Structure 1
Amino acid sequence: MISLKGSGLTLEDMRAILYQNEQVKLEKTAKDAVVNSRKAVEKIVKDRRTVYGINTGFGKFSDVSIEEGDVRTLQLHLIRSHACGMGLPFEETVSRAMIVLRLNALLKGFSGIRLEVLERLAYMVNNRIHPVIPQQGSLGASGDLAPLSHLALVLIGEGLVWQEEKHIPSHEIWAKHNLQPVVLEAKEGLALINGTQAMTAQGVVNWLESETLAYQSEWIAAMSMEALHGITDAFHPAIHEARGYPEQTAVAKRILEWLKGSHLVTKQGEKRVQDAYSLRCIPQIHGASWQVLSYVKEKLEIEMNAATDNPLIVEDGAVVISGGNFHGQPIAFAMDFLKIGIAELANVSERRIERLVNPQLNEGLPAFLSPQPGLQSGAMILQYAAASLVSENKTLAHPASVDSIPSSANQEDHVSMGTIGARHAFQIIQNARRVLAIEALCAMQGVEYRGIDLMSPSLLEKWHDMRVFIPSITEDRIFSVDVEKLNTYLKEETVNEKGKRVLS
């Protein structure tokens, strides 16, 4: 059980909630803060003070006053009108993350929402009631208005929820659970949708998958080293300590651990003096991607515990301030940076694939790893596919955050496009994983030609794991099937951290 209180939520907590179905509870101190901030909203309504989002319109309509009797209708209209999401839905995991993150933000006690609404959000998490939320339609400032409105629709019984990969009307789910939809009171609709939880939720899933993928890229690269008789001198700790990047040093250390006991790798001068960059510079290239992951982790964990709606109720309810914490610029930058870091893991992987299949570069392996070069094409088109994926990634890696377009009659005249950046980062991760799956497929075939009895014990274990569902290339076949099997194998390691706990 993960206790939510508006602070202290970590990415490892999110891993447990998202992939291991860990349940959540609300911390008592946070509940008290929520109750106190709600009292402030109710006093504002009672005293007929004019406060944005409570008894005014929204955006450019902020100067329009709303009568006390219409504050409920105002919130209902807000949710319905802002539910303008388009396109395919976010993955169910992202939807689950979005509920958790919005709940955690509201528990900070700055939003003026009723405790019973937050208890319903917690109920949704613990009973796997996940809204169907379209991916497109957010500008990433004024919050993720469209995606979060689709989340709020489920609360009021008007949206769709996931159920066994189908989309079911939420009012049917509430009836099944013997619960009534929530009726939103003053400010509650705005409190639910004015935040960065769509981009951050996708960002959390991106980071968790990326961390696993970064670890996996190391053992896959190490297996390619074996298949290509790579030179291990380039991983000597003194080289990396001389430069001073701890991530680079750590990658070199882990690669040597994977290669411990291998009789396939070589020393400087045994076969050649030095390797190509895609082998020799693995610590420098992969290590730089780990630096990206460190930066992104820091920004995500701040945002996961941030109050990002507007206005915020502070000083025990005495002051209500309109600000701009909903602006997604920090996460927009982080997601654009993540795109570059993961795209590079795929770029260098594709270069190793080329070395594994190219008869002029692969140290005597069969051309394209074919069992009958000429009659059979072997892994020739696998390299084409990898090249296509990395080229697509280069397009997706264009930063979304450099764009902005005004909205709400120029009241909201600069936006982050952070949700677009997060979505594109997710696409890059999926492409990168498939490139690494192709490298794994080629590397395991390469070491088989060399002699698996000469492999390091750790990599031989990985080889056997994959050979359970990926047969040796003895005849041309539909290799896309193999790539998808390997992709699934790699993706599933995000769930249980096997990709992280590779070596003790």
Structure 2
Amino acid sequence: MKHPFQFGKDTLTPGIALRIARGQQTSTFADDTINKIKKSHADVAEIANGDRVVYGINTGFGPLCTTIISKEQTRKLQENILRSHSVGVGAYVPLEIAKLMLVTKLQALSFGYSGIALETLERIKWHLEMDIIPMVPTQGSVGASGDLAPLAHLFLPLIGLGKVTYKGKIQDSGDVLQQLGKAPIALGPKEGLALINGTQFILAYAVRGLVRLHNCLELADIIGAMSLEGILGSASPFQEKLHALRPFQGSLHVAHRLRTLLKNSQMVESHENCGRVQDPYSIRCMPQVHGSSRNAWHHLKELVNVELNSVTDNPIVFSSTDTISGGNFHGQPLAMPLDYATLAAAELGNISDRRTYLLLEGDIEGLPKLLMKNTGINSGFMIPQYTSAALVSENKSLCFPASADSIPTSLGQEDHVSMGSISGRKLNQVIDNLENILAVELICAAQAFDYRKPMKSSKILDACHEVIRGRIDHAEEDRIFADDIEKAHDMIVNESIIDAAYQTAQQNNINLKGDLYELFSIS
């Protein structure tokens, strides 16, 4: 177990956020963080007890910002905001998303600019540690004044309302609190507003998408290299001197990986003097296409790392006499890069499907049409490519940028909104499809790879192929290929192929990571 992460003091990264959410890393509040939280809470209490009007502390919300709330009603105001803003619809978000929302909210509130009580933060942390996770509907946020509706649902359990999942069952949060001898939290001035202002719904989807897309990018290079071996493609387009002339970082990184994955391959060497001049783009341009998706991924990573360590509340409380109503809750800084990453993920699937199609054509010596010798009675791998094509087409329809739209809300007070919550969800929808597109290419690439035996590929690709064949057999007659796709998808999600590649590289002193590894890695 790693040292406890200190909210509000340590730098939160996507990897750390996921480890905390998955119970793989403990967390705490440092003493100086606790002091900042207490001071900010005292500042808000002073404002609430004074005569100065400050939005959200002694006023209504949104277009009701000119409605003054009495001192006696400030607590009721904070509970009401959780009730009134709990308007989400649709299926519940994955539990991991809800956990990431809790983790990222703890970090944002722990900087000491929100007036939140330490007891409230400790209760949120208790939910995480006890695995009592709020149920949050998927739809209802426009990503403007933060993710108001999903965050309201996330924190209803603090006041004994809403639903949670506990011990594998969805239950009323009030019942669970009663079972465990816990009373609902009595929210103080501004606390309800601080809980629901922020981008934690968008951010949770961004973190999850960032990690999942990274996995797909790593696999696309490996599977693409196997497809190259299957069609007896050339490694020449991946030479370092070529990419030095157009040194985009993503292209340089992918070219290095492909050179390494194909080094000392008998399959590559077997056709060095063949008459073929050039491979199709889906093979030859992998550094340029995969590399562009990596560049988009890296852009998203940079911005997610900023957001993970930012204050996204409103108003910001610097002191009892210094508060600023601003727009740190607006989702635009994440919405646009999420849309960019969605396009990057879709394109990774697009080129993968083109390689799958290429493997099926049968125009290359030693590779039977549809990747099966006795076709006619057998359809071979024709129909798995249909599934890949359908998913690629679906992804194209999901690529319209959600951030290009804006619908005024809050009686015009929120007259420009980001729709970043939709951007985050769409990225993960596209990755759902991408994982299965890569799964189809994986089973086809492994089948083509078989036809090149007994020649050896590189040690890394042979090790990856062995992992695949440990789960999926070579096919010389039709079977239910949905089972194969499911097994391939499992290997993609559990990272067993990636693990085999890096372990083999390490065991044989092969530098698969390259000089740009840290740039394109999850921390």
| Cα drift, residue 16 of structure 1 | 2.1
Aligned to 2:421: 419
Task: Work out the CA distance in 1 between the residues paired with 2:122 and 2:487.
Answer: 40
Return the match for 1:57 from 23, 46, 60: 60
Contact kept in structure 2, 1:215 and 1:500, CA below 8 Å? no
Return the match for 2:404 from 402, 405, 410: 402
Aligned to 1:472: 474
| Cα drift, residue 194 of structure 1 | 0.5
Aligned to 2:125: 122
Counterpart secondary structure, 2:201: helix
Aligned to 1:291: 295
Task: Work out the CA distance in 2 between the residues paired with 1:452 and 1:422.
Answer: 46
Give per-residue Cα distances to partners, 1:369-403, cap 9 Å, x unaligned. 12421111111011111111111111111100000
1:340 equivalent to 2:346? Answer no
Equivalent residue letter for 2:488: L
Counterpart secondary structure, 2:266: coil
Contact kept in structure 1, 2:219 and 2:498, CA below 8 Å? no
Return the match for 2:285 from 281, 285, 290: 281
Give per-residue Cα distances to partners, 1:307-354, cap 9 Å, x unaligned. 11111101x332111111111001000100110111111011000000
Aligned to 2:519: none
Aligned ranges 1:131-142 → 2 under 5 Å:
131-142=134-145
Equivalent residue letter for 2:340: F
Task: Work out the CA distance in 2 between the residues paired with 1:174 and 1:481.
Answer: 43
| Cα drift, residue 480 of structure 1 | 1.6
Counterpart secondary structure, 1:226: helix
| Cα drift, residue 291 of structure 1 | 0.6
Task: Work out the CA distance in 2 between the residues paired with 1:131 and 1:412.
Answer: 27
Aligned to 2:193: 190
Which moved further from structure 2: 11-20 or 35-44? 11-20
Unmatched 5+ stretches in structure 2: 507-523
Aligned to 1:366: 368
Equivalent residue letter for 1:16: R
Counterpart secondary structure, 2:267: coil
| Cα drift, residue 363 of structure 1 | 4.2
Counterpart secondary structure, 1:409: helix
Residues 7 and 403 from structure 1, CA distance in 2 versus in 1: closer, same or farther, beyond 3 angstroms?
farther
Aligned ranges 1:246-325 → 2 under 5 Å:
246-266=249-269, 269-314=273-318, 316-325=319-328
Return the match for 2:487 from 485, 498, 501: 485
Residues 217 and 428 from structure 1, CA distance in 2 versus in 1: closer, same or farther, beyond 3 angstroms?
same
Contact kept in structure 2, 1:48 and 1:68, CA below 8 Å? no
Q: Identical aligned pairs, as a percentage?
A: 40
Counterpart secondary structure, 2:410: coil
| Cα drift, residue 118 of structure 1 | 0.7
Residues 16 and 499 from structure 1, CA distance in 2 versus in 1: closer, same or farther, beyond 3 angstroms?
farther
Equivalent residue letter for 1:369: L
1:239 equivalent to 2:262? Answer no
Residues 190 and 224 from structure 1, CA distance in 2 versus in 1: closer, same or farther, beyond 3 angstroms?
same
Task: Work out the CA distance in 2 between the residues paired with 1:439 and 1:472.
Answer: 14
Aligned to 1:21: 24
Task: Work out the CA distance in 2 between the residues paired with 1:423 and 1:479.
Answer: 29
Task: Work out the CA distance in 2 between the residues paired with 1:490 and 1:456.
Answer: 20
Residues 155 and 464 from structure 1, CA distance in 2 versus in 1: closer, same or farther, beyond 3 angstroms?
same
Aligned ranges 1:159-178 → 2 under 5 Å:
159-163=162-166, 165-178=168-181
Contact kept in structure 1, 2:213 and 2:431, CA below 8 Å? yes
Which moved further from structure 2: 248-257 or 200-209? 248-257
Task: Work out the CA distance in 2 between the residues paired with 1:464 and 1:168.
Answer: 45
Contact kept in structure 1, 2:267 and 2:455, CA below 8 Å? no
Residues 363 and 427 from structure 1, CA distance in 2 versus in 1: closer, same or farther, beyond 3 angstroms?
farther
Give per-residue Cα distances to partners, 1:400-449, cap 9 Å, x unaligned. 00000001111111100000000000000111111011000000011112
Give per-residue Cα distances to partners, 1:92-150, cap 9 Å, x unaligned. 11111100101100011110010110111122222222211111100000110000001
Equivalent residue letter for 1:232: A
Contact kept in structure 2, 1:23 and 1:125, CA below 8 Å? no
Contact kept in structure 2, 1:215 and 1:499, CA below 8 Å? no
RMSD, aligned α-carbons: 1.8
Aligned to 1:391: 393
Equivalent residue letter for 1:484: E
Give per-residue Cα distances to partners, 1:192-237, cap 9 Å, x unaligned. 0000000011100000111111111111111111111110111111
Aligned to 1:145: 148
Counterpart secondary structure, 1:242: coil
Residues 57 and 293 from structure 1, CA distance in 2 versus in 1: closer, same or farther, beyond 3 angstroms?
same
- The runs of 4+ residues in structure 1 deviating greater than 3 Å are 163-166, 266-269, 496-504
Return the match for 1:111 from 101, 110, 114: 114
Return the match for 1:94 from 97, 107, 114: 97
Contact kept in structure 1, 2:463 and 2:500, CA below 8 Å? no
Task: Work out the CA distance in 2 between the residues paired with 1:73 and 1:137.
Answer: 24
Count of matched residue pairs? 501
Task: Work out the CA distance in 1 between the residues paired with 2:168 and 2:371.
Answer: 39
The TM-score normalised by the length of structure 1 is 0.96
Counterpart secondary structure, 1:88: strand
| Cα drift, residue 452 of structure 1 | 5.2
The TM-score normalised by the length of structure 2 is 0.92
Equivalent residue letter for 2:427: A
| Cα drift, residue 463 of structure 1 | 1.4
Which moved further from structure 2: 43-52 or 325-334? 43-52
Residues 113 and 19 from structure 1, CA distance in 2 versus in 1: closer, same or farther, beyond 3 angstroms?
closer
Equivalent residue letter for 1:152: F
Equivalent residue letter for 1:485: K
| Cα drift, residue 497 of structure 1 | 7.9
Task: Work out the CA distance in 2 between the residues paired with 1:238 and 1:340.
Answer: 29
| Cα drift, residue 18 of structure 1 | 3.4
Counterpart secondary structure, 1:63: coil
| Cα drift, residue 168 of structure 1 | 2.1
| Cα drift, residue 178 of structure 1 | 2.7
